[in-house]
């Protein structure tokens, strides 16, 4: 009414304004903290990258120096170079033989596992047949429990296991 505000309304408006001010202050503090964290992380990452770059440069220089030394040794001593090539060939042959032995061993192991699993399957199939009352041997007609059963053609070759 005449531009006057009640005390209750004034206190409510002041509380709302104070809450908004506190919320804005909290957001500003959080933003400052996040910015400081980001700057710290950025500085740390840049320092790590610089250290890794320096290490890579050192290793590259060391590698170049070692390459020069190897070239000098190979040029200065052809017998040494030939011996190194023979050693490399021998090691490659040994590696190939070791791989073949490991492969043969793994294949034999898996064949054994397959045979054991096949025996287990046959045993379980026999137990299942006994449990459901199937006759020994081949089932000639399964129409009682499979209405859509069709007798196989006579020209089907049965698979045999070696």
Q: Where are the domains of the chain?
A: 9-76, 80-133
Cα(119)–Cα(126) distance, integer angstroms: 11
Write the CA distances from 142 to 106, 121, 146, integer angstroms: 42, 22, 6
149, 142 contact by CB (below 8 A): yes
Torsion sign (Cα): 72, 75, 76, 81 = positive
Q: Tell me the per-residue pLDDT of 51-94, one tens digit each, with 9 for 90 and over.
A: 999 999 999 999 999 988 888 876 777 777 788 889 999 999 99
Highest-confidence segment of 34-43, 61-70, 94-103: 34-43
Q: Is the pTM of this model over 0.75?
A: no
Cα(49)–Cα(42) distance, integer angstroms: 10
Q: What percent of the chain has pLDDT over 90?
A: 41
Would you state the pLDDT for residue 100?
86
């Amino acid at each position: 009414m005449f531009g006057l505000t009640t005390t209750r309304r004034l206190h409510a408006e002041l509380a709302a304004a104070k809450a908004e001010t506190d919320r804005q202050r909290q957001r500003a503090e959080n933003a400052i903290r996040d910015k400081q964290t980001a700057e710290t992380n950025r500085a740390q990452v840049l320092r790590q990258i610089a250290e890794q770059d320096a290490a890579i440069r050192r290793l590259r220089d060391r590698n170049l120096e070692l390459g020069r030394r190897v070239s000098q040794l190979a040029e200065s001593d052809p017998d040494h170079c030939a011996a190194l090539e023979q050693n490399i060939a021998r090691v490659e042959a040994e590696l190939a033989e070791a791989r073949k032995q490991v492969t043969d061993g793994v294949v034999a192991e898996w064949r054994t596992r397959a045979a054991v699993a096949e025996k287990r399957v046959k045993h379980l199939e026999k137990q299942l047949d006994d449990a459901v009352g199937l006759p020994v041997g081949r089932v000639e007609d399964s129409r009682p429990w499979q209405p859509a059963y069709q007798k196989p053609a006579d020209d089907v070759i049965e698979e045999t296991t070696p």
